[in-house]
Structure 1
Amino acid sequence: MPRCRSHRCSLPALALLLLLAGCSHFLTRPEAPSVSLNNLQLVEATLFEQRYLLHLRIQNPNNFDLPISGMSYRLLLNGREFATGVSRDLETLPAYGEQVITVSVVSNLLRIYEQLRSPGDGEAFSYALEGSISLQGLRAPLPFSQRGELALNPR
């Protein structure tokens, strides 16, 4: 087998290095998007189940697009689970971009009853939005969490 001359062997190696450098952001785990609650809207209420639309603001802190394949999430009120949901086939979130998406959540009569039975201190209620976002091509989902408080009697 003839020996490889240095300039012939270095060309494929250089091409491989350039390819790896171009794909390096896919090899590192992206920073999780920021997800916040924008609005909650009751859509349908039956005796056993209530459906709501959650309007979520999602912000991408990465310098590359995030192709979102799905989300799972839950909304807690005063420390108790209130509603849960999943969504798929969401849009790609552009680099350093943000968008408001609408997803659905489901609650049930027992969860409503628990909220009414012990509503908190009467001045405000706390909420938490927790979940994870799955990206195309990334096995492990990216978790998110946002907490806040809403005053019932603003001064």
Structure 2
Amino acid sequence: MARYRAGRRSTLLLLLLLTLSGCSHFLTRPEAPMVSLNNLQLIEATLFEQRYLLHLRIQNPNNFALPIAGMRYRLLLNGREFATGVSRDLETLPAYGEQVVAVNIVSNLLRIYEQLRNPAESDSFSYALEGSISLQGLGPALPFSQRGELSMKPR
């Protein structure tokens, strides 16, 4: 009987260790995906609101897949908020993989007016893409930020 209990405990301990080792990457916070601006396309413009299709390149630096539940993001031009958006039901990002996703982003007349009222005094403008990615069942959202500058000079 004692031998049976010892064998049973060993089996339970082995199963517990296997379970924990299989889920070990979920016990640590994943490294945030790298998100960059790939393209911005106007899809609809009304007097008060403009809708754009924002193409984002998302790269997973982790050695395990990231099941993306949703994203929130905003685009700033020359330090001013230009457009914002949220998206859900995105695909799982494979380990060390990347994908380009198309998401909606919305601006309004006031934001456009702010950009036109204070035009850049140089031949370039700065942009920033900021936001966070929520993972299905994996704790707090992972923030991302990318900054850049675009030249308006003809080449």
Relative to the length of structure 2, the TM-score reads 0.94
Structure 2, unmatched stretches of 5+, are none
Amino acid at match of 2:42: L
Q: Which residue of 2 aligns with 1:22?
A: 22
Q: Which residue of 1 aligns with 2:108?
A: 108
Q: Which residue of 1 aligns with 2:41?
A: 41
Percent of pairs identical after alignment? 79
- Give the distance between the partners of 1:8 and 1:89, measured in 2 at CA: 43
Secondary structure of the residue aligned to 2:138 is coil
Amino acid at match of 2:64: F
- Give the distance between the partners of 1:154 and 1:69, measured in 2 at CA: 41
Q: Is the 8 A contact 1:36 1:146 kept in 2?
A: yes
Over aligned residue pairs, what C-alpha RMSD do you find? 1.4
Q: Is the 8 A contact 1:78 1:119 kept in 2?
A: no
Matched positions, count: 154
Flag as ranges the 4+ runs of structure 1 deviating above 3 A: 2-8
115-124 vs 96-105, which deviates more?
115-124
CA deviation map 1:48-101 (0-9, x unaligned):
000001000000001111110100000000000000000000011111000100
CA deviation map 1:94-114 (0-9, x unaligned):
110001000010000110010
Q: Is the 8 A contact 1:73 1:130 kept in 2?
A: yes
- Give the distance between the partners of 1:93 and 1:13, measured in 2 at CA: 33
- Give the distance between the partners of 1:11 and 1:138, measured in 2 at CA: 29
Structure 1, unmatched stretches of 5+, are none
